[in-house]
A and B are shown apart, each in its own frame.
Chain A
């Protein structure tokens, strides 16, 4: 029997430098632009599905989780800090926006950016002492903070206690709400992708690969880790600020573990380290999770089965697989 093996060849457009493409024709330009345009147009079309599908709320939820997933993916796969801090970021950002809105009456348009930046500063300051930690130890600390804050709010009965903050404004109409979050997801997705491919992104990846070598290069890793946490936590706080205006309520359920775990599941399904993958993961997971509500308590069973299936059969993630298929030609050759 003659032996054959599968051969993978890069398409000609992939020149040897990863930062420069040799574009020779409109066709090649289209080849590069098509997947990006597909994502952008697809995201922009999301709110346009018929209202009978009962889909509107899901779109915003998908986008909010997508922001958290991008934040997780950035921290875990470009800095090497595995964070379970989704709930922490959402809680801090949500409460900050809620206080600004209810106590000072500042409209959502201003509180959202303020909560994102201010929340980012608060989260970064709280996480600064843990910057020397890596891997699972950092994850544990980020998991403890939301628990700590919940008990603090409960026990001291501050910030509305268990009732939460009432009387928060909503968005003026669902279109504004949906397009606002969609555009923010796209902006952050492409912005962070651009950043990790710049020289500063190389330093981030260097910190992940080998932080001692970065120190030996005369670069302060403490500063770059802090900066990365600020970027990621700002994004998380932004998601939190959006959530309270969607629910028109801020309470201790903002610190619920779903905000930490679901983005990680989405990242695993979508493809870790791609930044686009987590968004796709959210686009798949969140609607499934909403559809499965009809099954009542069995929902989690089906949900878990789907997750296990993905992890066993496509552990590399959808996006990694798709990128390979798109950029490489596969063929069988005799050996």
Chain B
């Protein structure tokens, strides 16, 4: 691929006191690509998201978005440029109805500029646009679901609500932090086409996942993390064939046994 990189992460390091959560991680992603980031628990996946989106300050390293240095910018500025994220632990506004959850991002400066999801041009009534976005993301428009309090919605809808908040900003990049986790097989099956739709709409997606089978279906490229370091990168098959990846997931002793057996 010879396209221009939309996001370039170069050598980011994050230390929490004496613990190095990220150690000199570099990668880049092209426009319209879906990059999957996998790795065992505590390998620094979510820390990468927090660093890119400005929710935590990194110790060293640089991040470029469309060639512009966004290192150290505050979170709302980065979101304003079009780099949005979902939260692993869902963060809806529990005391508001679902569609009002989308009205808040539609009130942001970026949504006012861009006119909201697919609407184009001037932003109409935010409530209507909010319900449009929810319908897009799988809320049944003519049911009570979009009007229900976020506190009463099941996990599947809350995960969608996280995506809806990103979509309201007409994003260029969506970083999905474990959108499949906690969902049933059928719910995941209905989420996968949604992610594919994002790609068709020209949105670049970074997915952090534990559900490898579903991830491999949608992702163009996979990056593997372990103990804060990037240990492999490539297509799903390449990565799975990698010995260090197997060691990270199954432990070195077991891998040797499996290798011997093979």
Give the B-binding residues of A (Cβ under 8 A): 16-19, 199-200, 202-203, 205-206, 208-210, 212-221
Stretch at the interface among B6-14, B96-104, B215-223: B96-104
A18 to B146, CA, bound (A): 12
13 additional A-B pairs beyond A17-B127, A219-B105, beta carbons within 8 Å, are A17-B147, A18-B97, A202-B96, A203-B107, A205-B93, A209-B93, A209-B94, A213-B87, A218-B76, A218-B84, A218-B108, A219-B104, A219-B107
Question: Looking at the complex, which one of B94, B95, B165 makes contact with A217 (CB distance below 8 Å)?
Answer: B165
- Please report the C-alpha to C-alpha distance between residue A215 and residue B77 in the assembled complex, in whole angstroms: 9
Can you list 19 A-B contacts with CB-CB less than 8 angstroms, sorted by A residue number? A19-B127, A200-B107, A202-B104, A202-B107, A203-B104, A206-B93, A209-B96, A212-B55, A215-B55, A216-B75, A216-B84, A216-B91, A217-B79, A217-B165, A217-B169, A218-B77, A218-B108, A218-B110, A218-B111
Partner of B79, one of A16, A203, A205, A215: A215
Chain A neighbourhood of B104, CB < 8 A: 202-203, 206, 213-214, 217, 219
Given contacts A19-B127, A202-B100, are A215 and B147 in contact (CB under 8 A)? no
- Chain B residue at smallest Cβ distance from A208: B95
- Using known A-B contacts A209-B93, A215-B76, A216-B87, determine if residue A16 contacts B147 with beta carbons closer than 8 Å: yes
- Bound CA span A16–B127, Å: 13
Determine the distance from Cα of A16 to Cα of B149 in the docked complex, in whole angstroms: 12
Kindly state the separation between the CA atoms of A200 and B108 in the bound complex, as whole angstroms: 10
Find out whether the CB atom of B107 lies under 8 angstroms from the CB atom of A199.
yes
Q: Which B residues are CB-close (under 8 A) to A218?
A: 76-77, 79-80, 84, 105, 108-111, 169
Contact call A213/B93, Cβ cutoff below 8 A: yes
Which of A16, A19, A216, A219 lies at the interface centre, i.e. has the most chain B CB atoms within 10 A of its CB? A216
Q: CA separation between A214 and B100, bound complex, in Å?
A: 13
5 A-B pairs closest in CB distance: A218-B79, A217-B105, A209-B93, A218-B80, A218-B108
| A212 CB, min distance to chain B CBs, angstroms | 6
Among A17, A199, A210, contact of B93 (Cβ-Cβ < 8 Å): A210
Nearest opposing residue in chain A for B161, CB measure: A213
Contact, CB under 8 Å: B96 / A212? no
Interface centre among B105, B147, B168 (most CB of A within 10 A): B105
- Do most interface residues of chain A lie in helix, strand or loop, or is the interface mixed? helix
Asked if B246 is at the interface of the complex by the 8 Å CB criterion, the answer is: no
For the complex, what is the distance from the CA of A216 to the CA of B176, rounded to whole Å? 12
Number of residues on chain B facing chain A (CB within 8 A): 35
Q: Which chain B residue has the least Cβ–Cβ distance from A20?
A: B127
Partner pick for B76 among A206, A208, A220, CB 8 A cutoff: A220
How distant is the Cα of A20 from the Cα of B171 in the complex, in angstroms?
31
B147: chain A residues within 8 A (beta carbon): 16-17
Residues in A with CB closer than 8 Å to B96 are 202, 205-206, 209
Tell me the smallest distance from the CB of A334 to a CB of chain B, in Å: 26
Q: How distant is the Cα of A206 from the Cα of B75 in the complex, in angstroms?
A: 16
Q: Is B204 interfacial (CB 8 A cutoff)?
A: no
Which residues on A sit within 8 Å (CB–CB) of B77? 218
The smallest beta-carbon distance between A182 and chain B, in angstroms, is 32
B206 CB, nearest partner CB in chain A, Å: 14
Give the CA-CA distance A216 to B166 in the complex, in Å.
8
Q: How far is the CA of A170 from the CA of B30 in the complex (A)?
A: 71
A58 CB → nearest B CB, Å: 36
A215 contacts B75, C-beta separation under 8 Å: yes
Give chain A residues whose Cβ lies under 8 Å from the Cβ of B156: none
Whether the pair B76, A202 counts as a contact (CB closer than 8 A) is: no
What's the nearest-Cβ distance from chain B to residue A132, in Å? Answer: 12
B43 in contact (CB, < 8 A): no
Q: How far is the CA of A217 from the CA of B165 in the complex (A)?
A: 7
Residues of B within 8 Å of A213, CB to CB, are 87, 91-93, 104, 165
Q: Could you say which residues of chain A place their CB within 8 Å of the CB of B84?
A: 216, 218
Contacts of A209 in B (CB 8 A): 93-96
- With CB as the reference atom, state the residue of chain A lying closest to B78: A218
CB distance from A213 to the nearest CB of B (A): 4
Interface status of B53 (Cβ within 8 A of chain A)? yes
Residues of A within 8 A of B106 (CB): 199
In the assembled complex, how far is the CB of residue B56 from the closest CB belonging to chain A, in whole angstroms? 11
Give the complex CA separation of A51 and B197 in angstroms: 74
The CA-CA distance from A212 to B80 in the complex, in Å, is 14
Q: How far is it, in angstroms, between the C-alpha of A179 and the C-alpha of B186 when the chains are bound?
A: 64
Chain B, residue nearest A204 (CB): B104
B85 at interface by CB-CB < 8 Å:
yes
Contacts of A205 in B (CB 8 A): 93, 95-96
**Shortest Cβ distance from B91 into A: residue:** A213
Q: Kindly state whether residue B62 has any CB partner on chain A within 8 Å.
A: no
Query: Is B126 a contact partner of A199 (Cβ separation < 8 A)?
Result: yes
Q: Give, as a whole number of angstroms, the nearest-CB distance from B122 to chain A.
A: 15
Distance between Cα atoms of A147 and B74 in the complex (Å): 34
A217 in contact with B108 given A16-B144, A199-B126, A202-B103 (CB within 8 Å) = yes
Instruction: State how many angstroms separate the Cβ of A294 from the closest Cβ of chain B.
Output: 43
Nearest chain A CB to B148 CB, angstrom units: 10
A219 — which chain B residues lie within 8 A by C-beta? 76, 104-105, 107-109
